[in-house]
């Protein structure tokens, strides 16, 4: 039996016996280590900073990705920015926590190292998805941006590496449409086929 299989079975037994740590215990352990609030939780390569019972903090998607990673399911590496960032943003005149940028940079570096690609790199470009989430489920209400990292140079690299110009340029088009809609607020005009 492989190490991964054994780890997966141990995790399942721990979950079945109710030996998972509670959200408050996980948050408390995190706060004791950092002394300041933590806003970014990494998951990947069989390790997750969060857990499935942390939905109020990580949102449904974030908590589920963390839990799947913890129990040994194959999950691509990534990170979750906590719901507390939204709370902070509105409580502090639409500003972000001062440590957020450093935490995101550190988590992104872990993702890049794990995958062997780098955001903005011309030889081995990393493309990521940005998915919004919330404390409560809101189907159809949350936005997504796919192919973040795509640009005029990267699209040429993707076309060359995949030998599929249509795929590369369609991926770039989808990114531009999603970014324009979600980030820049570009609205669909009557008669336009704007759906990615």
Q: What is the mean pLDDT of each run of 10 residues along the chain (196 residues)?
A: 51 48 49 74 96 95 96 96 95 96 97 96 93 76 88 95 96 94 85 67
Cut 0.95: pTM above it: no
C-alpha span between 164 and 158 (Å, rounded): 8
Q: How confident is the model at residue 159, as a pLDDT?
A: 96
What is the rounded radius of gyration, in angstroms, for the C-alpha atoms of the chain?
A: 19
Q: In residues, how long is the chain?
A: 196
Complete domains list, the chain, with CATH: 1-116 (3.30.1490.20), 117-196 (1.20.80)
> Are 76 and 97 spatial neighbours (Cβ–Cβ below 8 Å)?
no
Q: Are 90 and 78 in contact (CB under 8 A)?
A: no
């Amino acid at each position: 039996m492989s190490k991964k299989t054994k780890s997966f079975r141990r995790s399942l037994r721990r979950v079945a016996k109710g030996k998972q740590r509670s959200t408050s215990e996980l948050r408390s352990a995190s706060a004791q280590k950092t002394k300041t609030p933590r806003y970014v939780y990494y998951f990947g390569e069989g390790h997750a900073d969060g857990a499935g019972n942390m939905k109020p903090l990580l949102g449904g998607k974030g908590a589920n990705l963390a839990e799947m990673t913890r129990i040994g399911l194959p999950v691509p590496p990534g990170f979750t920015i906590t719901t507390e960032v939204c709370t902070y943003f509105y409580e502090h005149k639409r500003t972000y926590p001062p440590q957020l940028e450093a935490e995101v940079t550190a988590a992104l570096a872990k993702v890049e190292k794990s995958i062997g690609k780098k955001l903005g790199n011309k030889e081995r470009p990393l493309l990521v998805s940005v998915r919004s989430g919330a404390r409560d489920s809101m189907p159809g209400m949350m936005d997504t941006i796919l192919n973040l990292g795509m640009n005029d140079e990267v699209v040429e690299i993707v076309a060359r590496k995949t030998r599929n110009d249509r795929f590369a340029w369609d991926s770039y088009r989808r990114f531009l449409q999603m970014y324009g809609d979600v980030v820049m607020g570009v609205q669909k005009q009557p008669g336009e086929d704007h759906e990615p």
